Structure formats: C-alpha cells, structure tokens
Amino acid sequence: MKMRRRRKGGHRHGKAHGRKFRKGKFFGVSWKEIKEIYHKMLLKMINSSEKSGLVKFEKLKALHRNKKELGRFLDIMEQNGDIEILNKGVKLTTEGLQKARNIRKKYEAIKNSFDLSNSSKNLTKFEIEKIMEKFLDERDLQNLQNFHKHSLNPQNIYNLSEFKFPAAIVHKIIVPSDKIVYKLLSLGVYPGQRIFIEKRTKINQIIQVKGSRFVIDHNISKNILVTTP
C-alpha cells in the first residue's frame, strides 16, 4: 500500500480534516464511530509497535479495508502527531505511544470491571469509556485500573440484591444496557468502591455511596456483583 506524502503548506485532504474531530458525519459514519476506529487503530499499532517498532500497512487493512479511507485516517493521525508514516508502514510517535498505552489501560480495566456479554445493544469498550469519562475523574479512573490488578479473585461473589451484609465492595457490573451503566456510574457505583446497605425491602434497597444515600430497585442492584470488604 503506497502512501502519498502531504505537500508543504497545506493538508492533503483540506481543512475539514483538522487536528480534532468534529461532531457530524465523516467518511459516511458518525464522529463517535470515527473515534472508536481511531482508538482501535492505536491499539492495533501499539501491539505491533512494541514487538517490531513498525506497523505494516497490511495489518491495518484488516481493521479498515477501504484503502482510501484508511489513507485519510492515517493522515489525520499524522496531523495529530500520533504516528509517523514511513515507506513500509507507520510508527507511533512518543505522544502516540503514550496515548495508546492510556487507552489500553482503560480498556483492560473495562474488561475486568464490566461484563458486556449480555448487553442488549452489543456495547463496546469505547462506549463504556465515554460514559466513564462523564462521571469519573482521573483519581476514580486510576482506582478502577488498580482494583483488579491488586485484588485477589474472591471466592464469594454475591448479587447485591441478595447480599445480606451491611457493607460490600463492588466487584463487577453486569451490563444489560448503557442506561444501567450511566445510572450506576452517576451514583458513584463502580468496581472497587465500598458501599453500605442501610435498608432492604422486597423491591429495592437504600445504599450509601461516598456519604450519599440512594434508593435502587432490584432490577438495577441485580446487575451489581459484590464481595465482602
């Protein structure tokens, strides 16, 4: 696959392909889908780059088969300072390598913290990441990444709706839909977080998270897997 170099004094594909993505349609898909492809390409590159330092174009074709669109994507990544385009492939820059490593850490944390196997809309790690960024700050994200790294696999994992003890540590969240994830993260409920169960009824529970009290029904709490502190 041959890549043409940009001419000095302008971008090959015009002003529409600036340093940042804009909302709307691009390549015939939404900006959200574009950013997801961008993340996938960075992850594909870092896995190859750490082994050989160079990512051949053939490996990227498997991710995005349209040669013209792949070339435009690589242009944008180069303009953003994430890659360097060479004759036989691409190489991640220092900035691109760090960005790819950060994405990989987040996706690994999401894999360990959220069960997406039964999601109704086939949610991806990218979509969970976008919800996380709305409600979790850098410290929360770091805690999430470190939780499964240092915790042992607990022998006793319970469904919160059936949990009988007054305090619990969130172990994993089953994701039937993005609404459930949105709801729980907005309450501060995520793996590694300590929660207190103040009261139980047949239909709901009153829980305390970070000093705040919430009522959640069993249709939501059944998606929270917990263990004893």
**pLDDT tens figures, 167-197:** 999 999 999 888 899 999 999 999 999 999 9
**In CATH, which of 1.10.3470, 1.10.10, 3.20.20, 3.30.40 is domain 23-92?**
1.10.10
Q: Which residue has the higher pLDDT, 122 or 87?
A: 87
Question: For 101-127, what is the mean pLDDT?
Answer: 86
Least Cα distance to 114 among 184, 35, 214 occurs for 184
- Of 74, 14, 49, the residue nearest 82 (C-alpha): 74
Question: What size, in residues, is the chain?
Answer: 229
Cα 104 versus chain centre, distance: 8
Judged on CB neighbours under 10 Å (0-12, 13-18, 19+), 201 is exposed
Are the beta carbons of 109 and 129 closer than 8 angstroms? no
Instruction: Look up the CATH architecture of domain 117-229.
Output: Roll (2.30)
- What predicted TM-score, i.e. pTM, was given to this entire model? 0.74
CATH 2.30.30.90 placement within the chain = 117-229
pLDDT band at 199 (very low <50, low <70, confident <90, very high): very high
Q: Tell me: the pLDDT tens digits for 130-145? A: 899 899 888 888 888 8
Instruction: Please state, in angstroms and rounded to a whole number, the distance separating the CA atoms of residues 229 and 194.
Output: 8
Sorting pLDDT into bands at 50, 70 and 90, what band is 153? low
Indicate where the chain has its CATH 1.10.10 domain(s): 23-92
What is the rounded distance in angstroms from the CA atom of residue 196 to the CA atom of residue 148? 21
Mean pLDDT throughout 97-123?
Answer: 87
